[in-house]
Structures are given as C-alpha cells and as structure tokens.
Structure 1
C-alpha cells in the first residue's frame, strides 16, 4: 500500500483574520506541516503535496462537487500534528500485517474403542515345522478383547490379521476452524485532520491529491480511487483447515495360556496377517493351550492439516479515507 501522504494545509491567523493571497507564514506551526527538512535531515512532511501552510490556498469553489456525506480531510501519519486551524481526529490504524493461523484436527482425546473390539483368526493344529497353515485347518474363531477360554488344544500356527485403527474423533477436511495467533499482528498508525473553518476546508479540497473521509467502510466516490480503511484496532480471522487427516495404528497382541482364565505359562502369536508358528511352542514337547488373551491398543498417530491464510482487517470504529490518485 502507498504510504499515507500529507494534505499539508493549515490555518494561519493574524490580528486581521485569515491571511489571504499567500499570506505570512505562521512560525508557530509544527514542523510536521512545514516543507523544509528537519533535524533528521529528511523531510518532515508525510508526502509530496507540501505547500505553504495557509488556509487561503484554495479557491472559493474548490469544494464544489464534494460527494454528499463526505468531508475534506488531511491524512497524516499517526504521530503528526494537524496544525493551527485544524482539528485532529482520534489516532487510528490501517494496513494490518502479520498474525498467523494454525490448525488442530484432534477435536478430542483418543479412546480405547477406536480400535476394533474383536479379532478374527484362523488356526492350524498340525506339526509346527510342516503344517505352515497348509493342513490340519481347525477353523476360524472370533475373539473379543481380554481373556477367552479355549477348548484345550495344541495350536501350532495362527494367522491373525491386524485390525486398522478407526479414529472416531477429530475433524474431516474443512470441518474444523483454524486457531489464530495475533502476537505478531502489526498496524500503521494514522490520523485525519478536519476543519470547520471554510478557508481551511477550501484549502484541503484544492490539494492535487485531495482526500475525503466518511465514517464506516464505504466505497470510494468517483475520482477518489485510493482507498484507506481505518479502524481503532485490528484482528485476523482464520478459515477452515484444509487437508485434515489423521493416521493412527492399533497395537494388536495375542497370547496363548496353558491354564484357564489366562493363567500358567503363555506364548505369543505374531499379528501381521501372515501364517506364523506360535512363539514358544515346541514340536518335541507340544503344549496344550486353554485360554487366549487378545489386546488391541490404540497408538497415537499423527495429524496432518493445512491452516488457511489469515485474513487481516481493521476493527472497532471504522472510517474510510478516499484520495485522488
């Protein structure tokens, strides 16, 4: 955005009233309104439209055709002084920058029931070194979580398929709003200068890049194409997250026990969808198993989401300034 520029006109009063026809310079006016360089060796004005700051700089019809509801203003950096004859509006801000949006798809904490409660397994009771799930098939069983008693049997091979996680929380794509962080939000301070003195108003209207203002967020009238929306504060809004997804796994384990109610010694079964011998079973001294313990634990996974680009805006009391280009 183009930096605010000065509508650098001011009223200069003497004992006889307003100075006319390019009257005397009023040395009491702030440096901000003066065209010359200041102590910092740079121009003290806010732009290129610097003229001798007298209120008689405009012609009698300079404000003819001013759009209804709008008033001529000087538009200055926030630290600038309006000068004699002009009324300073309240400090305002424009052009917010910074701020960021984040995204959290979680929604709520993981629950154990996010992993299936039952598991279906096939078993083979043949010789552990030759059967390899090819003979002596003894059926499929479905087990719920926890301990399940079995008919006493020698089991050499299991085929257990791991169950996928089924998260029941979080948000789907676009269904969760972004979280905002305004710690880096910054604005540019500005102010407007107005006057009820007719000579000063005429001088404002006569500027090459004259500005007008009106309360609220307005569209600029014809001819005043450079818009500046001012506010008393600023904020950002964050749209819905995009690409929300959640990946998780279930840690599935099966153990076979030699005693009822999952007592005695136990041996494990690999749960990977393949045909696996029971870990610990010995063909030369086979064990008889009487119980099975199945556990399926949810493993916290990872979230993947993209936050929306922050939409920055001024807030509070709004005022629109429109200037000629």
Structure 2
C-alpha cells in the first residue's frame, strides 16, 4: 500500500515536481536490495530529470526513470556509479528505510537535506500555524478593513446609482471574518508572508439582472479603482460571459495602508451558480460528480440569462 501511494504520487502530473521527486526516492528505497548503495542506484536511474530546467521535460524524465526502476533496467553509467560507491565507503554513511528495516550506504548528505526541505515545504499548514502567524496581524488590520468597507460601499453605491434599477439587489461589501480567513489559508496550504497578500480580505459583489449591464459595471469599477487584474471565475463555463472577478487596490486615506480587494460582478443566475458551487466545495461529493452537475447547471442558467435578455430586448 505504501509503495502504491508513492508510485501514484509520482504519476500524478498535477502534483508539484518536488513532491513527486520525493515520492520517487521512496520508490527507489523499496526496490533496493540488502547492502545495495542507495545513491548508486539513484544515479543508475537518473535520466537527467534532476538537472532538467524545463518542468514538462523533467516530468517525462521522472516517469521514464520510474518505468526503468520497475522494469529492473537502468541508465547505467559505470564511471559515475563507481565513484559513488567509493565515496559512500569513504564516508561510511547509512540510510535507513524504516518500514523495511534495511540499511543502505550513500555518499552524500545533500540528498537528505533536499528531502528534508521538500518535506518541510510541503507539510500541510494547520489552523494553529495560521493563528500563530497571522492572528496579531489580523487584529491590527481589522480597523483598517472596517473603515475601507464603509468607504468602498459608499463609493460603489454612488458610482452605480445610474443603473441602480438594473441591479438585482444592493451591492454587497464585506470584510472576511477571522474564522473564514483561517479556513481559507489552511485550504490553500498558505505560504503567505503577509495577510494582505490574500486578495479577498475585503470582498465586493455586484449582481445585475441582465448580462449586458455587467459591461457598464466593469467600466465603473475600472474608472473608480486601481485595477490589478481581471479574470473569469472557474464556475463560469460560458467563455462569452461578461462575469468577472476584478482585483483592485484600496488605500486608507488616513493610515495610507493598502489592501487588495476582490470585486465580483455577475448576473442573478450566475450568483445562484456561485452559491451552489461554494456550498458543494465543502460537501463530501465526488469531484467528477460536482463538475458534471455544475456544468449542467451552468448551461441551464446561460439559457435563463439569454431569455431574460430577450424579454428586455428593445427596452
């Protein structure tokens, strides 16, 4: 079971390359024979993936090395292996496989240090980690966020006054709660250095009845705020849709503090899709089933938007 888990991690192209390499080392450990030199074995399998700068090519080479490992063949280089064995004997270093209770000679501590760094880097972040690291910063920045919430809400309502009748409901401006912030940073396995790197500490949502009104909202946001970037959210499958998430910079006029905020603009039907997608994210439902269901719902709601536009056509 342990070997299959490591093997599957190596085969998973969506996983980070460093993690896949770590799992490959564990696969190598499993295939070692008693007394066999770990580093020599590793070099015999190395097709160049450790030094390959291109991630895609490195991934292919890593998969090739796994195939060679399981086939019992090797990219054998007598000169390199001979040097490694000699170095291992000179240093008298050993490597324990733990579960399989074997000892193997290796020639270099560098490989162990790299493994330790990879493990530390990819250690899951806990709520305790987040609270210890960002708890004080959140307390300090909360007054700034609350102040920005009020000023941003006033500005949004003022600027969108001319299309107020076209909005599904009043624009929403909220500060992300501490509990929600902790949950999100844990979910992202956050390595942020500053809490203000999180782009939705302050969130704005503008919901229109008509898809065509989203363009007007986007223009207003662009003229009223400093825009960092725009992108179409994953839950919107329709590439022709004007729904967007717009990342903006906000500045407190008194303290000069800057905060990144997220403005979501969408139609009423897309708002429904957003809520369903958000709820499903926390439910124990198979990923494939979620995706299929959301795609179908998205297609149906696209038809709803089209029919609403048709009803108002020629207004």
Structure number with higher relative contact order (C-alpha < 8 Å, ≥ 6 residues apart): 1
TM-score (norm 2): 0.22
More helix by share: 2
TM-score for both structures, normalised by structure 1: 0.21
Higher strand share: 1
